[in-house]
Chain A
Amino acid sequence: NAGVTQTPKFQVLKTGQSMTLQCAQDMNHNSMYWYRQDPGMGLRLIYYSASEGTTDKGEVPNGYNVSRLNKREFSLRLESAAPSQTSVYFCASSEGLARAYRQETQYFGPGTRLLVL
């Protein structure tokens, strides 16, 4: 099992350009998440999908859109990139079982490093 995979691993964009970050998991998980990690700020939740067909905003959703394409795939789109979106982006997944939410493990991908000039 590959776990959680992310593409691309690294990307440089110019201000105003758009791009989509791809994420896929092969663990048959219901829930998927997108985080960004900036120095000194830990990880902040951008959007999440509790189950296939649903998406919800997290802590910092402005400037992003998401698509839960199917149970395996969850993409993050930057429509008009800004320098403030320079960050490392992590996708994660978890089983998404309501009865076990307090003890669920989130499995993270290796991250996408994005630089917006």
Chain B
Amino acid sequence: TQLLEQSPQFLSIQEGENLTVYCNSSSVFSSLQWYRQEPGEGPVLLVTVVTGGEVKKLKRLTFQFGDARKDSSLHITAAQPGDTGLYLCAGVVGTSGSRLTFGEGTQLTVNP
């Protein structure tokens, strides 16, 4: 089983602060995805990173895929209460199907 470890597990910050969430593995992944989940709902895809070293920006969110395709980070600038949620990284495993291995998740709370 290819494992993904996320850190921190919980993060509580004030509105306007910056934060970074990490997703690490000893395994190489074909690609890596970040999902966000709100209470009572299923995860929703935020971004997919495919190439080692790739950086993608989604408004105030910046996603980076490690050069060796074993790790990734999510950086949020000037966090807002609407960013509150569970952030999950997921590695694509296998070579022919989009099976995902998920990290444990980071529960982010942004206080007004």
Among B6, B40, B95, B99, which residue has its beta carbon within 8 angstroms of that of A45?
A: B99
Give me the interface of B with A, judged by CB distance under 8 Å: 1, 4, 6, 9, 30-31, 40-45, 48, 50, 88, 90, 92, 94-105
0/1 interface trace, chain A 96-117, chain B, CB 8 Å (1 if under): 1010011111101111000000
Is there contact, CB below 8 Å, between A43 and B97? no
Query: What are 11 contact pairs spanning A and B, CB under 8 A?
Result: A4-B42, A31-B97, A42-B88, A42-B102, A42-B104, A45-B99, A48-B99, A92-B42, A101-B95, A101-B97, A102-B98
Consensus secondary structure, chain A interface: mixed
For residue A2, CB closer than 8 A to chain B, the reply is no
Is there contact, CB below 8 Å, between A96 and B104? no
The A62-117 residues at the B interface (CB cut-off 8 A) are 90, 92, 94, 96, 98, 101-106, 108-111
Consensus secondary structure, chain B interface: loop
Is there contact, CB below 8 Å, between A106 and B102? no
| With A50-B97, A101-B97, A102-B92 as contacts: A43 and B48 at CB distance below 8 Å | no
Chain A residues with Cβ below 8 Å from B41 are 108, 110-111
Is there contact, CB below 8 Å, between B98 and A104? yes
* Cα separation A109 to B45 with both chains bound (whole Å): 13
Is there contact, CB below 8 Å, between B97 and A90? no
Chain A residues with Cβ below 8 Å from B40 are 110-111
Is there contact, CB below 8 Å, between B104 and A41? yes
| With A42-B105, A44-B102, A111-B41 as contacts: A102 and B97 at CB distance below 8 Å | no
